[in-house]
Amino acid sequence: MSDNKKKLRIGLIGCGFMGRTHANGYNRVPNFFPELQYQPVLQAVCSRREEKVKAFANQWGVASYETDWRQLIARDDIDAVDICTPNHLHAEIAVAAAEAGKMVLTEKPLARNLEEAKSMVDAVSKAGVPNTVWYNYRRLPAVTLAKKIVASGKLGKIFHYRANFLQDWTINADLPQGGDAAWRMDVDVAGSGVTGDLLAHCIDTAMWLNGGITEVSAVTETFVKQRVHLDTGKLQEVGIDDACIFHCRFANGSLGLFESTRYARGHKALYTFEINGEHASIRWDLHDLNRLEYFDNAVDSDVKGWSSIHVTNGDHPYMEKWWVPGLGIGYEHSFVHQVADFLKSLETGEPCQPDFKNAYETQKVCEAVIESAKSRSWKGTEVEIG
């Protein structure tokens, strides 16, 4: 480790799926972004079971561990708290961390609902601490390239934005809800089903690429109405949305169509989006994440068609940091990029987007989607993004 770097001592809370992706991100950044002034140090990790958290610390090179997140926040040797827990803990931990003067990074969705999310925005703004939310798909090179292309105006006036996030892992009616294993199925812990879990990603990307969503009309369904709860052992009502489809208007006049489900047999994690403009269209598919497809209507008609851009050139976003042109990178690199961008933001003083304030706008859309489905009516979002 270089001695002339400023150390950013990270306290990671939660060591499941996201705990691993984040730990990997912190560990990789010094190798691939050596120009950064800050160097992350995995100072402590927290999870409730000692055996598990100790093993995680050993495996990922974390200097110490805690079994109570309040102890981690109370420590003087932690600069930034990174929240990788289920959704019900995001607000409580983030507010406590901000009040203790720590920088706060949190997994998405920002919170279970708008009220919690607001308390988080208020806490970080009152404390004046740097903050960010891990809507990591923005940082896949092909998605970042999509942003560059849209911002350049090449698409012209945008008419349509379309996104899907499809999975199939909850079709089995015997799958329980709650507990450590199935917290995503428990509305008290997750806040919502596919809307907060999957559509939140689609909404974040959509508003980043195409501006604010102003009103939504949604339909949701819970296909399996009761599941055994792992905490009580009893058959209980399922409160989450298993599937959600909504259409919407964007502030720029375009129309959006979004679908997410955990009941699309054959799909494990298919996130796709497509944008149709007056002059050109683009589309992207998580299963082929290094590619961006592009249709340019100005091309001579004999060679006109969808082109497939392999986003691996040195001048493509983030790619100069990795291997040589033509060689792809993976899902995990989006987290490495987010760490790098967060460290860079500490140098520049510019917020690392999406910050809590920006993620709060996504939360507004999620809330409007759920309310629209409940009331079977259009809902305004009051999003403050043009």
Ligand X SMILES: NC(=O)c1ccc[n+]([C@@H]2O[C@H](COP(=O)([O-])OP(=O)(O)OC[C@H]3O[C@@H](n4cnc5c(N)ncnc54)[C@H](O)[C@@H]3O)[C@@H](O)[C@H]2O)c1
Residue with token string 């068609």: 305
Does 19 engage in binding with ligand X (CB under 6 A)? yes
The CA-CA-CA angle for residues 166, 227, 19, to 5°, reads 55
Does 16 engage in binding with ligand X (CB under 6 A)? yes
How distant, in Å, are the alpha carbons of 40, 205, 382 from that of 70? 21, 33, 35
What distance in Å separates the CA atoms of residue 13 and residue 8, rounded to the nearest whole number? 16
Positions in 122-141 near ligand X (CB under 6 A): 134, 136
Q: Which is nearer to ligand X, 133 or 213 (CB)?
A: 133
Give the gyration radius of the chain's Cα atoms. Answer: 21
Provide, rounded to whole angstroms, the least separation between the CB of residue 144 and ligand X: 16
Q: Which is nearer to ligand X, 294 or 342 (CB)?
A: 342
Q: Which is nearer to ligand X, 39 or 170 (CB)?
A: 170
What distance in Å separates the CA atoms of residue 128 and residue 98, rounded to the nearest whole number? 8
In the shown chain, the binding pattern of residues 155 to 194 toward ligand X, with x for contact by CB under 6 A and - for none, equals ----------------------------------------
Provide, rounded to whole angstroms, the least separation between the CB of residue 108 and ligand X: 5
Does 87 engage in binding with ligand X (CB under 6 A)? yes
Does 69 engage in binding with ligand X (CB under 6 A)? yes
Q: Which is nearer to ligand X, 15 or 155 (CB)?
A: 15
Does 14 engage in binding with ligand X (CB under 6 A)? yes
Q: Which is nearer to ligand X, 18 or 216 (CB)?
A: 18
CA 36 to chain centroid: 23
Provide, rounded to whole angstroms, the least separation between the CB of residue 251 and ligand X: 26
Nearest in space to 373 (alpha carbons), one of 268, 265, 269, 258: 258
Q: Which amino acid is at 59?
A: Q
- Residue 345 tokens, joined: 């933001």
CA 154 to chain centroid: 27
In the shown chain, the binding pattern of residues 101 to 120 toward ligand X, with x for contact by CB under 6 A and - for none, equals ------xx------------
Positions in 190-219 near ligand X (CB under 6 A): 197
Kindly provide the residue ranges of all beta strands, DSSP E only, lying in 124-242, ordered along the sequence: 131-133, 158-166, 213-221, 226-228, 235-237
Bond prior to 325 in cis (omega within 30° of 0): no
Residues interacting with ligand X, by CB under 6 A? 13-19, 46-48, 69, 84-87, 89, 107-108, 134, 136, 197
